[in-house]
Amino acid sequence: MTSDRPGESDPTQLTIAIDAMGGDHAPGAMVQGAIDAVEQLGVRVLLVGDEAAIRAELPDGTLPAGVTIRATSQVIDMHEEPGTAVRKKKDASVVRTAEAVRDGDAHAMVGAGNTGATMAAALLRFGRIKGAARPAIGVPIPVPFAQPHLLVDGGATVDCTPEWLVQFAQMGRAYARLRLGIDEPTVGLLSNGEEPGKGDELRKQTFALLDGQPWFVGNVEGRDLMSGHPNVIVTDGFTGNVALKTVEGALKAAAGLVFTTLGAPEAKEAADVVAPLLLQGVTDYLDPDTIGGAALLGVSGVCVISHGSSSARAIVNAVALASDCVRGGFVDRMQAAIVGEEAYAG
Amino acid sequence: MPAETHSTHEPIGPDEVFATVRTHLSEILEIDDQTITLDAKFAEDLNADSLALIELVEALEEDLGERTVGFTVDDEDLGDLVTVRDAVDYVVSRLGAGAA
């Protein structure tokens, strides 16, 4: 039997657990992503899920070196209520994936299934870092030809207090240092106007708590998403998720408009030149598979949540992100951010 | 004697259950335990969302399960727990049922 203890053969080699059953293209994309990640990143991967279904996706049916399987009997579907499903389905792939990290059998987890269930499994099995009231999802928002923003929270905690948003700002800054390599990340508060008095009570009270911090730039508006400024945009999980989906839908509509226009007969000559450049630009900057996933902030472990439609390439990038987080001391950085940034030494 | 119903500890009364609930809630919600009263509503007063309630339930099951083997909370009942008092009463009744 192949051991799946992390770093047993090489203490510097990371093991990343993947929920093999989560995602629109599971388990095929997860299996291929695992194989590619082992080859390209030098990590080990623990695939967690229906063993027969996983093996059916293996090229010539054999398990490559560096990839192991942990068999489970249940799957949490996309429509299931996350918290209840995690409690009821103790042998669900995403639950066992989180437990692999909790129990020290993997250094980090990647999941592309039910986002709420992935978050709940990580929260309930890892626990929260001390002082972090609620978790948040740190989502990179692509910025054409520039460094991405981080949107915090992308949908983990729908109803927030002002104090929680301040914690999201603190954790977002710590994550921006790790993810974007920015020494002193700036933070803006998503609102319906730039002036300090704009917004609902949550926004106004949060503004008052953040005001005076040298890194706080004040309110930002929806149109600032994808502008590149500031580095971190903080909001509650409800607004953040709506904003994310709005950006996603607008980009699809804009891309559709451009390519439909270029598809017209009279534009053929121009399209032959411009379309490949546009496609390359979209792939380089806007393709979610390039980003790989978003990190769950505030829990005592590394959990990367990937897009439901993740391809094998997205899984490789998610594994790379998870590995970077582990090596970069992600949990310690989040803890330092919560207890006070003066404690940060990373 | 069936192991599932056997308890080797003293019975747990409402005051102790309240203290236990309060301790876990203050840790989960990162709030002062003195702000947690019996009449406090989970959602409106304590900002406890559904996942926070599940964190509480899992903590109670682990904690009280060590003293009353087999103690569990039915997920279907979670929606009925509006206040801290509801939770305390529920736990006391479940503990009583388990020990009977």
| pLDDT digit string, tens, across residues A199-256 | 999 999 999 999 999 999 999 999 998 888 999 999 999 999 999 888 888 887 887 8
Q: At A147, give phi and psi (nearest 5°).
A: -70, 145
Q: Binning pLDDT at 50, 70 and 90, where does residue A148 land?
A: confident
Least confident of A57-66, A112-121, A138-147: A138-147
Question: How high is the pLDDT of residue A249?
Answer: 83
Task: Count Cα neighbours of A33 within 13 Å in the Cβ-side half-sphere.
Answer: 35
CA distance B40 to chain A (A): 17
CB contact under 8 A, B58 and A159: no
Interface of B with A in 35-54 (CB under 8 A): 47, 49-54
Please provide the distance, in angstroms rounded to a whole number, between the alpha carbons at the two ends of chain A. Answer: 39
Chain B interface, best mutation among A88, A134, A296, by max B CB count within 10 A: A134
CB B75 within 8 A of CB A87: yes
A132 chain-B contacts, CB cut-off 8 A: 30
pLDDT of residue A145: 78
Name the helix (H) or strand (E) containing A136: strand A136-143
Task: Quote the pLDDT of residue B3.
Answer: 45
User: Do B31 and B46 touch, CB atoms closer than 8 A?
Assistant: yes
Which site among B27, B51, B61, B74 would you substitute to test the A interface, given the most A Cβ atoms closer than 10 Å to its Cβ?
Answer: B51
Q: Is B32 on the interface with A (CB under 8 A)?
A: no
Shortest CA gap B54–chain A (Å) = 7
Contacts of residue A272, defined as CB under 8 A and 6 or more positions apart, other chains included, come to none
| pLDDT at residue number A226 | 85
Q: How far is B50 from chain A (nearest CA, A)?
A: 7
Which of A54-63, A102-111, A126-135, A242-251 has the largest mean confidence? A102-111
- CA dist A79 and A207 (Å) reads 35
Q: Is the pLDDT of residue A2 over 50?
A: no
For an interface test with A, which of B27, B53, B54 has the most A Cβ atoms less than 10 Å from its Cβ?
B54
Q: What token pair was written down for A182?
A: 């920015």
pLDDT score, position B95 = 83
Looking at residue A187, its pLDDT comes to 97
**Cα A129 from chain centroid (whole Å):** 18
Least confident among A110-124, A132-146, A293-307, A313-327: A132-146
Most confident of A5-14, A278-287, B67-76: B67-76
**A90 part of contact set with chain B, CB < 8 Å:** no
Contacts of B55 in chain A (CB under 8 A): 123-124
The interface pTM score, or ipTM, of the predicted complex is 0.76
Residue A171 in contact with partner chain B when CB distance is under 8 A: no
Mean pLDDT confidence for A263-281:
78
Does the structure show a pLDDT above 50 at A342? no
A-B CB pairs within 8 A amount to 34
Instruction: State the pLDDT confidence band at B97, using cuts at 50, 70 and 90.
Output: low
Task: Grade residue A85 by pLDDT with cuts at 50, 70 and 90.
Answer: very high
Tell me the pTM: 0.87
* A40-67 average pLDDT score: 95
Which of A98-107, A278-287, B13-22 has the highest mean predicted lDDT (pLDDT)? A98-107
Per-residue confidence band for A9, with pLDDT thresholds at 50, 70 and 90: low
Q: Between A66 and A285, where is the model more confident?
A: A66
Cα–Cα distance between A58 and A336 in angstroms, integer? 42
Length of chain A (residues): 346
Local confidence band at A6 (pLDDT 50, 70, 90 cut-offs)? low
Q: A303 in helix, strand or coil?
A: strand
Q: Does position A310 have pLDDT exceeding 80, yes or no?
A: yes
Nearest to A120 among B28, B29, B51 (CB): B51
Asked whether the beta carbons of residue A123 and residue B29 sit closer than 8 angstroms, the reply is no
Let me know: does A291 contact A304? Beta carbons within 8 Å.
no
- CA distance, residue B43 to nearest chain A CA (Å): 10
Question: Would you call A124 an interface residue with chain B, using a CB distance cutoff of 8 Å?
Answer: yes
Query: What is the per-residue pLDDT for A283?
Result: 65
User: What percentage of chain A carries pLDDT values higher than 70?
Assistant: 93
pLDDT at A3: 40
Nearest-neighbour CA in chain B from A105: distance (Å): 22
pLDDT higher than 50, residue A186:
yes
**Integer Rg of chain A from CA:** 21
Q: Does A82 touch chain B (CB under 8 A)?
A: yes
pLDDT band at A341; cut points 50, 70, 90: low
Which residues of B are marked as active site?
Answer: 49
